[in-house]
Amino acid sequence: MPIQALASAIEDGAARREVLAQYEEFRRTGKVRTTLGEDDKVVRELHAAEVLKTPLSSLDAKWPREIGAKAGGRVSAPARPPARPTAKIIELDVVPAPRPQRVMKAPPPLPRELPVGAPLAKKEKTLPRCTLTDSAPVVQAPSIGPKTAKRLEALGVKTVADLLALAPEEAEAKADARHISAQTIRDWQAQALLACTAPGLKSREAQALVACGVRSANDLASADAVALCDAVAQWGLSPEGQR
């Protein structure tokens, strides 16, 4: 940038004249000494004494250095570019990859032998049948004893089919017995229906299932086995289950 363009950018007139004077001194002598401001002179003197360790008079007597030369140093020859390292070939011993070993599976455990004299499980030759049919006498239905059967027979209920077709509310009114309510008749019907449709189900088991909320073969098929077993066990310990 020309000095005139640089000076024109300085708004303060005194500062502009000072810059032009310093430039003129540097152009003539190669140094700026007499035209420096008072603060710059103090800084130059401290720099010479503390950093360069040289009296200011000696520094003023030296010839100006060439532009770009390092202070107090010698111009060194250009450094040579570093030599490229040569690649060293290392021979490696080729080790074959290990073959995968076959994992031998342990043979399945042999079935435990039963103790001598232990009873063997009974093998069913045929599938279990339903323990109750709709043509059976009503006395064979779950929860129906001889006395209750006589009361039902007085109402025209002689078979299991008659029990399943019975209207609970009407039968309660005609029976005239406190232990024969409409809800009790519905439970008897559910027990009889389970015994007629679930193969191998006994009367006592039908009573337990109905007491636990299982009232049909569909309910039994969709019930959770563990929860149902717990419910049946608790019912068996209750006063109702002990009767």
Which residues make beta-bridge pairs with 137?
Answer: 159
Q: Give this prediction's pTM.
A: 0.48
Domain termination site, one of 61, 91, 107 = 61
Please name the amino acid found at residue 212: C
H or E, element range at 145: none
Query: Residue 89 has what pLDDT?
Result: 72
| Residue 207 belongs to some domain of the structure | yes
Query: Residue 189 has what pLDDT?
Result: 95
Burial label, 210 (beta-carbon count in 10 A; 0-12, 13-18, 19+): buried
Residue with tokens 């060293």: 88
Domain termination site, one of 21, 44, 61 = 61
Could you read off the pLDDT of 29-53 as tens digits, one per residue?
Answer: 777 777 777 777 777 777 777 777 7
Angle at 33 between CA 29 and CA 34, to 5 degrees: 100
Q: Using an 8 Å Cβ cutoff, are 191 and 210 in contact?
A: yes
DSSP 65-76: PPTTPPTT---P
| Residue 21 belongs to some domain of the structure | yes
| Residue 117 belongs to some domain of the structure | no
| Residue 83 belongs to some domain of the structure | no
d(CA 39, CA 109): 101
Sign, CA torsion 127/132/135/140 = positive
| 143 and 236 both lie in a single domain | yes
H or E, element range at 108: none
d(CA 41, CA 133): 128
DSSP category for residue 30: S
Domain termination site, one of 29, 45, 61 = 61
| Residue 189 belongs to some domain of the structure | yes
| 47 and 142 both lie in a single domain | no
d(CA 27, CA 217): 117
Boundaries of domain holding 32? 3-61
- Angle, helices 168-175 vs 146-154, to 10°: value is 100
| Residue 82 belongs to some domain of the structure | no
* CA atoms within 13 Å, Cβ hemisphere of 29: 13
Query: Residue 58 has what pLDDT?
Result: 75
Q: How far is CA 223 from CA 129, 191, 201, 227, in A?
A: 21, 16, 16, 8
Query: What is the CA 169 to chain-centroid distance, rounded?
Result: 56
DSSP 202-221: -HHHHHHHHHTT--SHHHHH
Query: Residue 145 has what pLDDT?
Result: 92
Query: Residue 105 has what pLDDT?
Result: 76
Domain count for the chain: 2
Residues shown for the chain:
243
Please name the amino acid found at residue 225: A
| Residue 50 belongs to some domain of the structure | yes
| Residue 109 belongs to some domain of the structure | no
* CA atoms within 13 Å, Cβ hemisphere of 28: 10
Residues of the chain with pLDDT under 70: 1-8, 56, 59-61, 63-85, 87-88, 90-95, 110-125
